[in-house]
Every structure is written in C-alpha cells, then in structure tokens.
Homo-oligomer: A and B are copies of this chain.
C-alpha cells in the first residue's frame, strides 16, 4: 500500500504531466494563430496561459505543504525540490507559447511569418510540442534515458534555428526589417521552449542518480543556449 506521502508525490507527478500537455497544446494553438493570423485563437492562448499558471501555483502550494508537514529527507526531499523546478520550467514554456500568440496578435491582420519560412516555423513548433510531451512522459516514468533522447531532439531544434538565420540572411530573398525582427524573436521563443523540455528531462536524471546539478551530468547541455548563433 502506498503511503499518503507517496500518494501526494504521485499527484504532483500527474500535475507535471498535465502541465506538459497544456504547454504543448498552447504552443500548437499559438503557432496556428500565427500562421493563420487567427486573432481569436491568439487571444485564447494568451488568456488560457493563466490556467497553466494556476496549475503551477497549486502544485507549488502542495509541494511546499508536503515539505512542511512531512519533513521528507533524502530521495523524497529531492523529489519535491525537483518538482518545484520542473513546474517552473513548464510554466515558462507556457509563457513562451503566449509570446508566440502575442506576436500573432500584434501583426494581425498580417501574418508575421513570410511564406518561405512557414514550413520551418511549423516544423519547429511540432518538434517543440513533441519534446515537451516527451518530457512529461519521462517525468511520469522516471526514465533517465529520456534526457539523452531529448537532447538529441534538441540538436534538431538547433539545426532548425540555424536554418532560420540562414534563410533570414539570404540576400537572394527580399525581407522587410519588421519580418527579420519578428522571425528572430520567434526563433528564440521556439528554441527556449525546447530548452525547457530538455531541462525537465535532465532533472529526472538527478532524481534517479542522486545528483542535484545538471552541470554535473555529462550529457547535460540544457543550460547552454544561443547555440544556433545568429
């Protein structure tokens, strides 16, 4: 029989998985609002971000409440502190989806993304959504091998990010400056979103290995950013 404490940990883990799905849905809708200049959808994504924030608040309150009441040590303590960190990553992913939606809203009725960049924006979004869902699965399964998988997918994100810069700077194509500014920001949003997915998965490694720090896990590189240099 599971103790009350472990039931509470299970609940917290379920909420992390839920947040990862909410963040994936937010990005899918944000990208759709961006590519279709769908103002209503963009507004919805912006408003719905409050729901992710609310799940985070509830999760944090519970985790801290459990910390105070049960005074866990060792692995149990590590689980709770790790959950607090993961929910910060997942909430931030939701924020980045909201930024995409805000950019869509700002350019409406225009489409912020030039035609030749539509496929790559779509591709970045789908990859980022898959990564955050996978990060949620890795959390649920306590699967440390997921971190390496997520990092390998993140290399794919970095390649796409570099390709965005290449396309933006290609002088055979006419570009407006606003277009260059917007695409630079969008590229960064998708890349950072993916970084948070990697970060969540890496935290599972600490949980299982007992190390607290991504910096000490050789396969970790989630802290590294700006890899797809402009």
Contacts and interface: CB of A to CB of B under 8 A. Distances in A.
Interface of A: 53, 57, 60-61, 64, 67-68, 71, 73-74, 77-78, 81, 84-85, 88, 95, 99, 102-103, 106, 165, 168-169, 171, 175, 177-178, 180-182, 184-185, 188, 212-213, 215-216, 223, 225-226, 229-230
Contact of A184 (B68, B169, B180, B225): B180
Contact of A182 (B84, B95, B102, B230): B230
So how many copies of this chain end up in the complex?
A: 2
19 contacts: A57-B213, A57-B216, A60-B213, A61-B212, A64-B77, A64-B78, A64-B81, A67-B81, A68-B77, A71-B71, A88-B88, A168-B177, A169-B177, A169-B181, A178-B230, A180-B180, A184-B185, A185-B230, A188-B188
With most chain B CB atoms within 10 A of its CB, the pick from A215, A223, A226 is A226
With most chain B CB atoms within 10 A of its CB, the pick from A53, A77, A230 is A230
Contacts of A103: 226, 229-230
Contact of A229 (B102, B165, B225, B226): B102
A78 to B, nearest CB: 8
B106 A229 contact: yes
Contact of A64 (B60, B169, B178, B212): B212
Contacts of A185: 184, 188, 226, 230
A95 B226 CA distance: 10
